[in-house]
Structure 1
């Protein structure tokens, strides 16, 4: 334990002891018939409890902040290593993303090197449909506290286990979109007032079957999304690229994204990924989708599920005071 943490623990214990002494003295000097004095005693007890809760919250936030800063350093070190490695290649066009002489493949360059400072949990089914979330226990608390939270999900395609678990275990409002289907998957029956589904897709411009994120958020009266899930079959590249220019700060805390790498050349993918990181997105989880590889044609493993934390704005995962490297 570091010296600052030890000092904080001593202060909290000392205040706890002081509260106990004050309350015992109150009990010994106040008669049970004196209701006004009991109200004073209740206030003293509440103040002590509030102090302890505040100090523990401060300690917890301080610990989370330290873990995030260390994660940011580790992530930045990995980026430097990536740049040094790519500098040994003649140019991006000559790099073989699915196996060079060192057996380096695309996903080795973009491994998740940022750690979730809370619990990391898979939400939804094993295999296609489930996603890894950071700090799901914080969202679960909303079930009791009734605190608001917002989840947007693009691409349900008859597999709605992710949305079903969100609706079951949290107080989050879920806004689901998919232009290829007319209803949510069989995992959801009804969904109640917490679920809204619309048969439109996510795109760069508004068309008869596509909407921009900005348009949908305005329609729903939102300025912030806690969790954003995207599986739009390759359209993620152009869509996110448009956000890089239109948003100074991306309006969501987490992003769960399936990447279809075959839709871009390696140089374009590399530059797109680096722009994604420059907007504050840090990958904390990845899960390869091997379904194309088991087909008779034996396609490459070019589908990857990534989960990101947005570190460019304070949110439920990132406390105030965090300083990103870029």
Structure 2
């Protein structure tokens, strides 16, 4: 009986030790994956609700990272199997042999842990937003009405409130109008060299929370050119911004070089997570492939083929951005333009590594 009882005790101790190791490893893996999230509170004064919510958020992000990582591995495998790699055609003609397009290599596999809502009009102009309810809940700083003849006093600091940048307005501002209506803390900076201001969707009562400049977003600063171009780091410096919560960008093919310059400015600067992270919460962007491999336009850069696109995309991923939504733009295909391939696609990227992102607070 003594031997039997001792054996049971030893067995229980071994099982307990194994469980402790498993739980410790699981927590360590999550902590390594999400170093910017606070450790689960151990204080007795911490609310059960806050502990449960943080635990849930960690679990959701961890699952999203695993799903995204799997798609990254599959991307590499699929590319390696193609005989033309790294010059894989965007739209193969033999779909029995190669049943995929460029967009199938880059699916939106990272799940936003919060709500995903459509903001702005249906169709072109509206955007999908991860965590819209989180943005709506943010407290608003005081926004004094602006007078064209009198400088506003007591205006909020540049980084107060929700900072939104919008590039490529083209007279359609339904997204910006709804963000201003629903998010009391939002302020929006808009840029477009082809129009003189915001679209009519933004009412005059909300214009004091918007700022517009007739310039384009470029890979280098050409302030005296016609039209003038600014880089994103230069605009942030001019506005006194250290961080952009939401970036909306539709600049007809110039996005590759413009974001290259943005990544150049912050690559190598480590955040609390120990990685280079872009100072941006999430991005709504339309990607353009152009006709063939060359991008037209006043700010077009080098030819963009599969290899260039893949390296550009994976650099964004390395700096924390995760694809969370995809919407193929079929306008060019359906309007009889002679383009049979869907060469424009809307993506939403969420910054999953950023300790400043209000979505993780």
Question: Is the structural similarity TM-score above 0.5?
Answer: yes
CA distance, structure 2, for counterparts of residue 236 and residue 254 of structure 1:
15
How far has the Cα of 1:243 moved from its partner? 2.1
Work out whether 1:116 is the aligned partner of 2:112: yes
1:176 is aligned to 2:190? yes
Distance 1:55 1:174 in 2: 36
Equivalent residue for 1:215, pick from 231, 234, 249: 234
The structure with more helix, counted as a fraction of residues: 1
In structure 2, list runs of 5 or more residues that go unmatched. Answer: 1-43, 143-159, 268-276, 296-303
Write the distance in 2 (CA, Å) between the matches of 1:196 and 1:244.
Answer: 24
Q: Distance in 1 between matches of 2:173 and 2:281?
A: 21
Distance in 2, matches of 1:74 and 1:145, equals 38
Superposition pairs of residues 1-326 of structure 1, within 5 angstroms:
51=45, 54-99=47-92, 100=94, 101-142=97-138, 148-170=161-183, 171-190=185-204, 191-208=206-223, 209-248=228-267, 249-262=277-290, 263=295, 264-296=304-336, 297-314=338-355, 315-318=357-360
Seen in structure 2, the aligned counterparts of structure 1 residues 106 and 135 have a Cα distance that, compared at 3 Å, is same
Contact residue 143 and residue 169 of structure 1 kept, 8 A: no
Q: Counterpart of 1:86 in 2: which secondary structure?
A: helix
Q: Secondary structure at the match of 1:151?
A: strand
3-state SS, counterpart of residue 253 of structure 2: coil
RMSD (Å), alpha carbons: 2.0
Q: Post-superposition shift, 1:144?
A: 6.7
- For the residue of structure 2 that corresponds to 1:304, the secondary structure is strand
Aligned residues: 270
**TM-score calculated relative to the size of structure 2:** 0.71
Distance of 1:189 and 1:220 partners within structure 2: 23
- Structure 1: where are the runs of 5+ without partners? 1-49, 320-326
Instruction: Tell me the distance in 2 between the aligned counterparts of 1:65 and 1:187.
Output: 38
The answer on whether the counterparts of 1:177 and 1:199 sit within 8 Å (CA) in structure 2 is yes
Query: Does the CA contact (< 8 Å) of 1:124 and 1:161 recur in 2?
Result: yes
TM-score calculated relative to the size of structure 1: 0.78
Deviation, structure 1 residue 298? 3.3
Write out per-residue CA displacement over residues 72-123 of structure 1, whole angstroms, 9 at most, x where no aligned residue. 0110011111111111123425523213423211111111000000000111
